[in-house]
Amino acid sequence: MKTIELKLKDKKYPVFLGYNILKYLPGLLKEKGVYQIFIITDSNLKKIYGDTLINLLEKNKFRVFLFDIPAGEENKNLINLEKLVKSMLSSGADRYSFLIALGGGVISDLAGFIAATFMRGIRWGIIPTTLLSQVDSSIGGKVGIDLKEGKNLLGAFYFPNFVLSDFKFLENLPENELRNGLVEIIKTAVVFSSNLLKFIETKPIISPINFKNLISVIYQAIKIKTKVIKEDPYDEKGKRIFLNLGHTFGHALEQASNYKLTHAQAAALGLLIACGISKKLKILKDDLKERLENLFKKYNLFYDISQINLDLIEKAIFNDKKRKNNHLNFILPVKSGKVIVKTNIPKEIWKKSVIEIQNSGG
């Protein structure tokens, strides 16, 4: 088992990484003096891992409760938040209870928001079970839920007490979920590491899964993300904003498609749109856009968005919460491993780039 320590100004926590490391969970919780545990998970994971986890913890004399919500983004909402909190209260949850998020980003975002707000904050740990959550959503302390008006509109920064990333979970992960995670890794590579991007382009990673290469990619991606979080834990000034590459458009496409596109599918297209804008402004001069297009085609991530209404996309872009004083911040690639932030890009330019992707067929 490897440990990456995340030291922030006022908090530090470990990210444990390894294959088949769930068995270390009871020891970890005992060290923290935990006695009562509330596991929050989704319906799929409850079926596969619920009993195993409850048995492991009960065998070690913890008082354990497990609550699940139906799987899927549309359930990261206020209704489930209230249901979960009420179930916790009626089972005797108090300020000293420990919460565990077992699942992908939907679960850690929702459970983390509960941990942040339940009785003004309780301790919690994340057991991320998707590739996306292992490399991205479990690292960085952002938690929250969606509202009808948009994604992640209620949220907080609330860092966990630990993250336990067991690669064994990835064995059961459906292929399309592996692909979704890969997009976030490709995004991280485009922003920070041309070496990582080359590695992904040249080695077999998923479809079919190559564990050795996949684990190497996960380590590299987590290393980069933890470094960025250390420098800018609250997304205020530093490079953390770069990780939004492709996401203004990604979120807009998700919303405009009425969430038919997943976060990662939309983010992949968002990356291509960002490249398109950058090319038009002559900031990006090399073949990064074509390289990414090839990668996304190879992994079946180049979805057809010709049916999504352009006006809806535009509206969603202006609703994006990252809009500041009517300026949209766009993060644009300069080359593989380097991006810049640009404001006030003329509407015609970014609209053209969206249309280009709509017309390219997917």
Tell me which residues touch Zn ion (CB under 5 A): 267
Q: Which residue, 67 or 169, has its beta carbon nearer to ligand NAD?
A: 169
Residue 105's binding partner among Zn ion, ligand NAD, none (Cβ under 5 to 8 angstroms by kind) is ligand NAD
Q: Minimum CB separation from Zn ion for residue 115, in Å?
A: 21
Type of residue numbered 173: L
Taken as a whole, the chain contains a residue count of 362
The amino acid sitting at 275 is C
Question: Helix, strand, coil proportions of the chain in percent (round to 5)?
Answer: 50, 20, 30
Alpha-carbon gap, residue 56 to 259, rounded angstroms = 36
* Least distance in angstroms from the C-beta of 109 to Zn ion: 11
Nearest residue to ligand NAD on Cβ basis: 105
What whole-number distance in Å separates Cα of residue 132 and Cα of residue 106?
10
142 binds, among Zn ion, ligand NAD, none (CB under 5 to 8 A by kind): ligand NAD
Q: Which does 160 bind (CB under 5 to 8 A by kind): ligand NAD, Zn ion, none?
A: none
Nearer to ligand NAD, 180 or 336 (CB): 180
Question: Is the Cβ of residue 109 or residue 293 nearer to ligand NAD in the bound state?
Answer: 109
Euclidean distance between CA atoms 256 and 323, whole angstroms:
17
What is d(CA 326, CA 317) in angstroms, rounded to the nearest whole number?
11
Question: With contact defined as beta carbons under 8 Å apart, do 341 and 253 qualify?
Answer: no
Q: Give the one entry of Zn ion, ligand NAD, none that residue 295 binds, where binding means its C-beta sits below a cut-off of 5 to 8 angstroms depending on kind.
A: none
Residues engaged in binding ligand NAD (CB under 6 A): 42, 44-45, 48, 71, 73, 76, 103-107, 109, 129-130, 132-133, 136-137, 140, 142, 151-152, 169, 172-173, 177, 180, 263
Pick from ligand NAD, Zn ion, none: which does 137 bind, CB < 5 to 8 A by kind?
ligand NAD
Q: How far is the CB of 177 from Zn ion (least distance, A)?
A: 14
Q: Two tokens at 82?
A: 């209230």
CB of 149 vs Zn ion, minimal distance in Å:
19
* Shortest distance (Å) from residue 104 CB to ligand NAD: 2
Nearer to ligand NAD, 137 or 278 (CB): 137
Q: Would you call 9 exposed, middle or buried from its count of C-beta atoms within 10 A (0-12, 13-18, 19+)?
A: exposed
Q: Least Å distance between CB 275 and ligand NAD?
A: 20
Closest CB to Zn ion: residue number: 267
Beta carbons within 10 angstroms of residue 79's beta carbon: 10
Of 15 and 284, which has the nearer Cβ to ligand NAD? 15
Q: Whose CA is closest to 301, among 246, 349, 341, 240?
A: 246
Q: Which is nearer to ligand NAD, 132 or 354 (CB)?
A: 132
Cβ neighbours of residue 349 closer than 8 Å, sequence gap 6 or more: 277, 280, 281
Q: How far is the CB of 11 from ligand NAD (least distance, A)?
A: 16
For ligand NAD, the closer CB: 188 or 220:
188
| Nearest-angstrom CA–CA distance, 310 and 314 | 6
What is the DSSP code (8-state) at residue 271?
H
Q: Of 72, 39, 33, give the one whose Cα is nearest residue 57.
A: 39
